[in-house]
Amino acid sequence: MDKYIVHTLTCPLRTPQEGLESKLTDSLLRLFFTLSLAYHVFVTISRFLFLRCRERERERERERELGGLESSRITGEHTGEQDYGSRSTFAGIHEELGIRPEALCESKRKLVDVLQTSRLDDKPSLPSVFQGPFQVSYGPATSAAGNPEEIQKLFPNLYGQPSVDLVPSTKPTFTEKKLKVGVVLSGGQAPGGHNVIAGIYDYLQEHAKGSILFGFLGGPAGIMKCKYVEITSEFLYPYRNQGGFDIICSGRDKIETPDQFKQAMDTVNKLDLDGLVVIGGDDSNTNACLLAECFRANKLKTHVIGCPKTIDGDLKSKHVPISFGFDTACKIYAEMIGNVMVDARSTGKYYHFVRLMGRAASHITLECALQTHPNIAIIGEEVAAHHQTLRQVVNDITDLVCKRAGQGKHYGVILIPEGLIDFIPEIQHLIAELNEILATSTCDPEGHWKHKLTPPSRALFALLPHSIQEELLLERDPHGNVQVARIETEKMLITMVEAELMQRKHEGTYTNNFIGMSHFFGYEGRCGMPTNFDATYCYALGFAAGALLQSGHSGLIASVGNLTAPCAEWTVGGTALTELMDVERRKGKNKPVIKKAMVELDGAPFRKFASVREKWAVEDSYRSPGPIQFAGPTAHETNCTLQLELGAVAA
């Protein structure tokens, strides 16, 4: 094209014929130029529009990540949440991406692993009460975990209802009327969720043939937007005894506003539901109770039953001995910790600092310590009870490093609960001050802003490693607050121990080398194939939920007890959700909450740990339990926390 232009422009002599031709050529050329100009303008504008769209798409993506979508199948990756995000709009995202939620579930799970496949046909045992006809036996009227008058005001239709036990009877007591039931997975994954759904499904098939089970897609958003699938036997099969929540996926939305309650009512009316099972942690079960109250107050026939789910182990009470997923997650972490211990002893030169998931409570760290016998396991609740400072925690670790060095040991394993920072008051003060300061001003590079900190906070800030200082200043959530959970405590402690050892080197009290290795075990444990215990426990919970709905109960959490006995002797029933509740003042309003169960320092598991930890600190009593077993001598162990709490083994 360029050549042609050059040619026409440089042609010196023209005949008239040529003149006409060149005029024609000129106008053709002009037309061509115009067209090409228009084309360029068009391309530029579309490019601009495309880039803007992409930018907006990215923004939306970021919002979504903050919202903590619980589906790795859609985003292709985990979204870094751990209950710190606020909202997700799972169904909305499907619409935006043009994905039908139904299609998501049409792409049936394909199992290619021999072990996974072999687990599919493993039918969990059932408590003996389900072997024959049973009836309901009621306990005394219940109260609340705290502020009973307030709880009564918030739940006038449910408050005080008795807990329920299923007991054998001579003849069937419930009509086998067909039921329509919905189920929803709410919050972070925990191994065994699929078996709860399998339990509900099988219960309905066995005891109310012809019943229908709907699975709401993507968590509570699925209820609000009425996005669901019907769960059939073929659909369910590839998920039996498997980890994950991908059968219907989960989400973190809460049904909170009057509008959202209305949407939920519309959905259960539209589907004509007799029951709704909410599988979730403390917040989700609180939400389940609010729904139960709302449906009853509005005279809907839909009953609501909760199921205790969370790997963190902080949802428990007298009647709910444990939440599902805890057992599997701890065994997965214990395997990895055991491996790291063998590594420590093999190389002889590393200190492994392992941070474990579990949010505020240190149940996971304690259970893993009991299973693996580390040199140190920090228990957040103890740090709080003794008002320990960060400096003291660091000094304790450093002292042990020096002591072991004296024995010629330059390695060790240290377990750190994710919630440690929540328990050190001085860090809480620092964070509160930072939130305050950063809300109104920015940090000048010269550091003048630091003078706004109180002297103790300023001293603490100066003590922190540079990377942690940056995390504190830069990583904020959408509300502008420091993201405490993102702070890599294990790295922080390594750096601080290094600094302290350097100091001691100067003083001549330590002469060796210290190499710290950091680990965070979290997501690795949330979706493992459930242990025999979790698989069986969850299946029983599903049966319990089915039975509670069939017997016409609402506002209860399915509870299966006597868990250290063989499965046949497990007790089955439901506990009033209001009995687990207390009120908390949030934003000037009384909000019902299920109190998180923290590690009790006078409880058997902690006492057991406290009695042996000094030995573990200096001697290497490492225990490497290996991978989860489904058959063989250790396949049916439930472990330490539960055994000790229920008094099955002496502390």
Ligand X SMILES: *[C@@H]1O[C@H](CO)[C@@H](O)[C@H](O)[C@H]1NC(C)=O
Return residues touching ligand X (CB under 6 A). 371, 562, 565, 569, 571, 625, 637, 639-640, 643
Helix (H, G, I), strand (E, B) or coil at 60: helix
Minimum distance, C-beta of residue 640 to ligand X, in the bound complex (Å): 5
- Residues with Cβ < 8 Å from 473, sequence gap 6 or more? 434, 438, 443
Listed residue (543, 535, 581, 583) closest to 559, CA to CA: 543
> Least CB distance from residue 419 to ligand X, whole Å?
23
Q: Is 359 marked as binding a ligand? A: yes
Residue 587 CB-density burial (10 A; 0-12 exposed, 13-18 middle, 19+ buried): exposed
Annotated ligand binding at 350? The verdict is: yes
From the CB of 168, what's the least distance to ligand X, in Å? 11
Of 154 and 547, nearer to ligand X (C-beta) is 547
Name the phi and psi angles at 20, rounded to 5. -60, -45
Q: Which residues of 296-329 are buried (b: 16+ CB within 10 A; e: fewer)?
A: beeebebbbbbbbbbbbbbbbbebbbbbbbbbbb
Instruction: Choose among 329, 365, 356: nearest CA to 525.
Output: 329
Q: Smallest gap, in angstroms, from Cβ of residue 361 to ligand X? A: 20
The closest of 421, 420, 523, 424 to 482, measured between CA atoms, is 421
State in angstroms the smallest separation of the CB of 140 from ligand X: 17
571 in a labelled binding site: no
Query: Would you state the structure tokens that stand for residue 155, as one six-digit string?
Result: 């739940």
Annotated ligand binding at 357? The verdict is yes
Give the residue numbers marked as catalytic: 312
Q: Judge whether 311 is annotated as a binding position.
A: yes
Task: Provide the β-strand partners of residue 159.
Answer: none
Q: How far apart are CA 19 and CA 253, in angstroms?
A: 76
The conformation of residue 212, written as its DSSP 8-state character, comes to E
Alpha helices in 441-531 (DSSP H): 455-463, 466-474, 489-507
Nearest Cα to Cα of residue 520 among 420, 613, 600: 420
Is 89 or 639 the residue whose CB approaches ligand X more closely?
639
Residue nearest to ligand X (CB): 565
- Complex with ligand X: residue 55 or 569, whichever CB lies closer: 569
Kind plus residue range of the DSSP H or E element containing 276? strand 275-280
Min separation Cβ 625 and ligand X, Å: 6
**Residue 101: which of 111, 92, 109 has the closest Cα?**
92
The verdict on whether residue 349 carries a ligand-binding annotation is: yes
Residue 188 marked in a binding site: yes
- Please tell me whether 96 is known to bind a ligand: no
- In angstroms, the CA 343 to CA 335 distance is 12
Nearer to ligand X, 398 or 571 (CB): 571
Q: Does 418 belong to an annotated binding site?
A: yes
Residues with Cβ within 8 Å of residue 429, at least 6 apart in sequence? 454, 456, 457
* Residue placing its CB nearer to ligand X in the complex, 373 or 491: 373
Indicate the residue among 241 and 639 with the shorter CB distance to ligand X.
639
Instruction: Report the nearest approach of ligand X to the CB of residue 648 (Å).
Output: 7
Closest to ligand X by CB, 248 or 642: 642
Other CB atoms within a 10 A radius of the CB of residue 98 amount to 7
Amino acid in position 520: F
Residues at the binding site for Mg(2+) are 282
Binding residue numbers for substrate: 310-312, 349-350, 357-359, 418, 523-526
Binding-site residues from annotation for diphosphate:
188
User: Residue ranges for the binding site?
Assistant: 188, 282, 310-312, 349-350, 357-359, 418, 523-526
